[in-house]
């Protein structure tokens, strides 16, 4: 990695500013999934073990006005983190001011402090989200001139708590999570061990045009499944029944098919049903065409075999987007089939690009079989599109 990492820093006795991603789902003050807290532990533990005084910043949800602050405090996160670290986490329910400054002043080597939700600063003029120069400078002034960014999930945004702080310290470094995310995803795209197969699914072509275009340049094969399939089918004049389609993307789909030639691989059959939720009939289509009055809701068995054949021998696989409506057991077979084909490859570097595919791998019990599951849907999509992430760019070169 070309940027400084936390291992390059002298941390002992230093007030270390750290941006983490604690944007966890909360229901009535209870954290319903704490994977993001777990993912930040190695960096926090390392700083603490090295004798640094970790001052943690994170956002939680969106805060536009005073009323939005309700239920968005990081207080429950501090408790959860304290349990995980098995040590006290000083929580300061402020984002600036004397209380926060005094609490930081009282820290000892190895201590951990969590600042209140950075987006509370958005109430008066979106200071956090618009990277207000005064705010970045103020937060930077709370530490000893060093900053660690470990929040991959927000690295595609230029906010005061990542880019703003970085601009006001001498050394801004990547934490372990950010470093891993970049190494796995960027290396897979830019320096893949070949054959490199990209698999893209999910509902909409419009969300993934940039990713498809970039991966067509980089990968040896680009496999498409999920709801996106039917826009590509319709662009070729294939009957799609009532399947999901984006009429305004038919031209782009046609252009992509022409440009890509045999590199772009589409399903050859579907599992179709006569309604999305209240279906009374369900069958395999046998050919590409979906029957009138039916919707394609998963790839069919022939496509699963075809895709498994295309994945065979792959040394790098990047997968983003389920092959069907995987939330419903009737339409999970495609996503499971593709996952099993990926993980069956010996020596494969298998990467899941966040979002719904990560949820599918976790819910369908295959998460531990992949080399890397990204923690940031939006940020990983931007990396796959070949874009530069502002949060990463702002870090100090080695």
Q: Give the active site residues.
A: 36, 204, 355, 378
Name the token pair of 247.
């009429």
Nearer to ligand AMP, 47 or 360 (CB): 360
Least Å distance between CB 289 and ligand AMP? 15
Q: Which is nearer to ligand AMP, 162 or 375 (CB)?
A: 375
Nearer to ligand AMP, 192 or 354 (CB): 354
Selection from 383, 388, 376, 398 nearest residue 20 by Cα: 376
Least Å from the CB of residue 10 to ligand AMP:
42
Closer to ligand AMP by CB, 219 or 359: give it: 359
Taking the complex as a whole, the smallest distance from the CB of residue 356 to ligand AMP amounts, in Å, to: 4
Residues 279, 275: Cα–Cα separation, whole Å: 4
The rounded distance, in Å, linking the Cα atoms of 224 and 245 is 14
Give the CB-side neighbour count of residue 242, counting CA atoms within 13 A.
10
DSSP, collapsed to helix, strand or coil, labels residue 396 as coil
Q: Whole-number minimum distance, CB 203 to ligand AMP, in Å?
A: 4
> Distance between CA 57 and CA 151 in Å, rounded?
9
At closest approach, how far in Å is the CB of 355 from ligand AMP? 5
- Rounded CA-CA distance 18/9 in Å is 13
**Which residue's Cβ lies closest to ligand AMP?**
202
At 371, give phi and psi (nearest 5°): -70, -40
The answer to whether 381 and 155 are in contact (CB under 8 A) is no
Summarize as ranges the residues that interact with ligand AMP (CB under 6 A).
202-204, 207, 226-227, 244, 296-297, 321-322, 324-327, 355-356
Give the nearer residue to ligand AMP in terms of CB position, either 11 or 245.
245
CB of 199 to ligand AMP, least distance (A): 12
Burial status of residue 101 (CB atoms within 10 A of its CB: 0-12, 13-18, 19 or more):
middle
Nearest 10 degrees: Cα torsion 80, 85, 88, 92 = -50
Give the whole-angstrom CA distance, residue 337 versus residue 357: 13
Six token digits for residue 291? 């029957």
d(CA 151, CA 154): 6
Nearer to ligand AMP, 81 or 290 (CB): 290
Quote the least distance from Cβ 281 to ligand AMP, whole Å.
Answer: 16
Q: Which is nearer to ligand AMP, 9 or 339 (CB)?
A: 339
Nearest partner of 333 among 275, 271, 376, judged by Cα: 271
Between 104 and 384, CB nearer to ligand AMP:
384
Minimum distance, C-beta of residue 276 to ligand AMP, in the bound complex (Å):
7
What are the strands, taking DSSP E only, across the chain?
15-19, 26-27, 30-31, 53-57, 89-92, 112-115, 146-149, 171-174, 196-200, 221-224, 264-265, 270-273, 282-284, 295-299, 316-320, 349-352, 372-373
Class of residue 374 by CB neighbours under 10 A (exposed 0-12, middle 13-18, buried 19+)? buried
- Which pair of tokens denotes residue 42? 């190695």
């Amino acid at each position: 990695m070309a940027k400084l990492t936390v291992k390059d820093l002298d941390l002992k006795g230093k007030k270390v500013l750290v941006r983490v991603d604690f944007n966890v789902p909360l229901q009535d003050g209870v954290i319903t999934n704490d994977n993001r807290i777990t993912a930040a532990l190695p960096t926090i533990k390392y700083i603490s073990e090295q004798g640094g005084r970790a001052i943690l910043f994170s956002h939680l949800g969106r805060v536009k006005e005073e009323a939005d602050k309700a239920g968005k405090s990081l207080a429950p996160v501090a408790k959860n983190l304290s349990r995980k670290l098995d040590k006290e986490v000083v929580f300061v329910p402020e984002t600036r001011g004397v209380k926060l400054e005094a609490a930081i002043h009282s820290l000892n080597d190895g201590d951990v402090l969590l600042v209140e939700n950075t987006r509370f600063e958005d109430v008066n003029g979106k200071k956090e989200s618009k990277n207000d120069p005064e705010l970045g400078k103020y937060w930077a002034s709370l530490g000893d001139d060093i900053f660690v960014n470990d929040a991959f999930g927000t690295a595609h945004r230029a906010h005061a708590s990542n880019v703003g702080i970085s601009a006001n310290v001498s050394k801004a470094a990547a934490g372990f999570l950010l470093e891993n995310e970049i190494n796995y995803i960027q290396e897979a795209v830019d320096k893949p061990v070949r054959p490199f197969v990209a698999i893209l699914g999910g509902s909409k072509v419009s969300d993934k045009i940039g990713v498809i275009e970039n991966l067509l340049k980089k990968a040896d094969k680009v496999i498409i499944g999920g709801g996106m399939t039917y826009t590509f089918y319709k662009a070729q004049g294939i009957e799609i029944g009532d399947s999901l389609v984006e009429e305004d993307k038919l031209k782009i789909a046609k252009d992509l098919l022409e440009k890509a030639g045999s590199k772009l691989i589409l399903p050859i059959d579907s599992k179709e049903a006569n309604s999305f939720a209240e279906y009374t009939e369900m069958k395999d289509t046998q050919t590409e065409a979906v029957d009138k009055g039916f919707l394609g809701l998963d790839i069919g068995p022939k496509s699963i075999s075809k895709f498994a054949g295309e994945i065979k021998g792959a040394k790098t696989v990047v997968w983003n987007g389920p092959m069907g409506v995987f939330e419903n057991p009737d339409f999970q077979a495609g996503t499971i089939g593709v996952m099993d084909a990926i993980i069956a490859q010996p020596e494969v570097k298998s990467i899941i690009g966040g979002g719904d595919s990560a949820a599918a791998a976790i819910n369908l019990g295959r998460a531990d079989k992949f080399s890397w599951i990204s923690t940031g849907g939006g940020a990983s999509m931007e990396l796959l599109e070949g874009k530069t992430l502002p949060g990463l760019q702002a870090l100090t070169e080695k």
